[in-house]
């Protein structure tokens, strides 16, 4: 079973790609409803890298345990007529909790330049789930993904890396070098 999202976000593809690799940015997508905390003593990495395997504890509202999940990171890139598409994939699996009844968890997020819209990104998000309880869990996950999509759109403008240049105020009191 699949859940698909596709929309434009208000940041450039580089900023979106960096955000996908940031455990902090990803955690913000779910906050404050869902908390993602590392199980290992070293904590979450600053940035995900291909091959990472990270067990995390999920909790609702920071207090209600929702189970553990293994995040397994990989990535790839493909060339399309509109430009390069970079795909971040979490093919880990729920370990405990309600989602542990799933035997397939394949979450892929793709970012690419939005056609004809400089500074904008086309965001594609695909979750594939499988297992005996997938039909029961699909409606819940579909709702979570709609909410998550709204969070992506709201947070994307904050992902910009380079600060905007300061505007020239024309203040004559600033001394110029001679």
Per-residue pLDDT tens digits for 81-113? 888 999 999 999 999 999 999 999 999 999 999
The number of distinct structural domains making up the chain is 1
| 121 within a domain of the structure (yes/no) | yes
Give me the pLDDT at residue 20, please: 95
Mean pLDDT lowest among 74-78, 108-112, 143-147, 174-178: 174-178
HSE, side-chain direction, 13 A CA sphere, residue 102: 27
Angstrom distance (rounded) from CA 84 to CA 14: 11
In percent, how much of the chain has pLDDT > 90?
70
Is pLDDT at 32 greater than 70 in this prediction? yes
Is pLDDT at 172 greater than 50 in this prediction? no
Which run of H or E residues covers position 90? strand 83-90
Per the structure, the complete domain to which residue 58 belongs is given by: 2-159
| 81 within a domain of the structure (yes/no) | yes
Give me the pLDDT at residue 168, please: 52
| 122 within a domain of the structure (yes/no) | yes
| 174 within a domain of the structure (yes/no) | no
Computed over every residue of the chain, the mean pLDDT equals: 89
Is pLDDT at 33 greater than 50 in this prediction? yes
| 172 within a domain of the structure (yes/no) | no
Angstrom distance (rounded) from CA 82 to CA 53: 32
Residue 176 pLDDT grade (very low, low, confident, very high; cuts 50, 70, 90): very low
| 178 within a domain of the structure (yes/no) | no
Which run of H or E residues covers position 17? helix 13-20
**Residue position matching structure tokens 């400089």:** 118
pTM over the 0.75 mark: yes
Would you state the structure tokens that stand for residue 17, as one six-digit string?
A: 């790609």
**Residue position matching structure tokens 């500074």:** 119
Query: Which CATH number fits the domain that encloses residue 47?
Result: 3.30.530.20
Angstrom distance (rounded) from CA 26 to CA 30: 7
| 176 within a domain of the structure (yes/no) | no
Residue 165 pLDDT grade (very low, low, confident, very high; cuts 50, 70, 90): low
Helix runs in 37-159, H state only: 134-155
Pair 71, 88: CB distance under 8 Å: no
Is pLDDT at 167 greater than 50 in this prediction? yes
| 166 within a domain of the structure (yes/no) | no
């Amino acid at each position: 079973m699949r859940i698909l999202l596709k929309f434009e976000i208000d940041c450039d593809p580089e900023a979106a790609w960096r955000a996908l690799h940031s455990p902090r940015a990803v955690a913000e997508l779910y906050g404050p409803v869902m908390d993602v905390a590392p199980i290992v003593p070293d904590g979450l990495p600053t940035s995900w890298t291909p091959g990472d395997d990270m067990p995390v504890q999920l909790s609702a509202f920071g207090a209600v345990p929702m189970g553990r999940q293994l995040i397994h990171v990989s990535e790839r890139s493909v060339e399309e007529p509109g430009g390069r598409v970079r795909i971040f994939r979490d093919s880990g699996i729920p370990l405990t909790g309600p989602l542990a009844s799933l035997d397939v968890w394949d979450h892929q997020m793709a970012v690419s330049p939005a056609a004809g819209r400089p500074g904008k990104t086309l965001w594609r998000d695909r979750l594939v789930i499988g297992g005996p309880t997938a039909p029961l869990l699909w409606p819940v996950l579909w709702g979570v993904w709609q909410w998550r999509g709204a969070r992506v759109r709201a947070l994307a403008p904050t992902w910009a890396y380079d600060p905007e240049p300061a505007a020239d105020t024309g203040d004559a009191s600033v001394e110029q070098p001679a």
